[in-house]
Amino acid sequence: MEYHNGFIYESTGRRGTSSIRKTELKTGKVLQKVDVDDRYFGEGMTIFNNKIYFLTWESKMGFIYNLETFEKEGQFSYGNSRQGWGMTHNGTELIKSDGSSKLWFLDPETKEEKRSINIYTDKNGIKDLNELEYINGKIYANYWKEPLIAIINPDNGVVEGIANLAGLQEQIIKEEKITDGDAVLNGIAYDQENNRIFVTGKLWGKLYEIKLVKK
């Protein structure tokens, strides 16, 4: 998920239902959509230089779409990263998660994985990093199947903070009577101009604006 010029852009998953879409922020109305080939399980995406970079899960293949028309303009294969999970960028590099404790930095021109960093707290490494968002010089990352967001130093991989959204996840699951075990927190978007963070989850019917308060 990504906020761009007043709109929310999302990639959706599962084979046969994967897509990229542009939606209105206030209403959730889908304004533009392109379906992904049924062979692919859609995962993370990011917008960089007026292009959408979109990952697939196990196919080791990413796609590039025109931001305005949603026409596919190219594709790229993964290097040493094992799968495609989440994606963001820092203004000069694409940043990719692959479900491990590593984050990968890609050259946006060649799509080559230039380097990787291991992510860890003061106690242990963190695995299953998923959706990513770059916010004010830090990488925010969802933990897979945990209601947590890690705030990561991109220079050394140190987790400098953890946002606990367990209460929000419990609330939405209860309100919407969701029973699917995949309905976990997994979506972060940032509106830099207005300093707003948005979050959502798989199968959630709502998008939330949150403010993080340090304990």
Per-residue pLDDT tens digits for 187-214: 999 999 999 999 998 888 889 999 999 8
Task: Enumerate residues 6+ apart whose C-beta is below 8 A from 137.
Answer: 154
Neighbours of 136 (CB within 10 A): 9
- Which strands make up the sheet holding 159-164, listed edge to edge? 129-135, 138-143, 148-152, 159-164
pLDDT tens digits, one per residue of 81-95: 999 999 999 999 999
Mean pLDDT of 130-145: 95
Q: Where are the alpha helices (DSSP H) in 7-131?
A: none
d(CA 157, CA 195): 24
Residue predicted with more confidence, 114 or 202: 114
Does position 175 have pLDDT exceeding 90, yes or no? no
A 10 A CB-CB count for 51 gives 16
- The whole model's pTM is what? 0.94
Which 8-state DSSP code applies to residue 78? Answer: -
Distance CA 192, CA 182 (A): 29
pLDDT, residue 125, reads 82
pLDDT at 15: 82
Residue-wise pLDDT tens digits, 3-58: 999 999 999 888 878 999 999 999 999 999 999 999 999 999 999 999 999 999 99
CA distances from 154 to 88, 112, 115, 150 (A): 12, 18, 12, 12
pLDDT (0 to 100) of residue 124: 81
Residue 74 has pLDDT above 90, yes or no: yes
The DSSP 8-state label assigned to residue 6 in this structure reads T
Q: For 170, phi and psi rounded to 5 degrees?
A: -60, -40
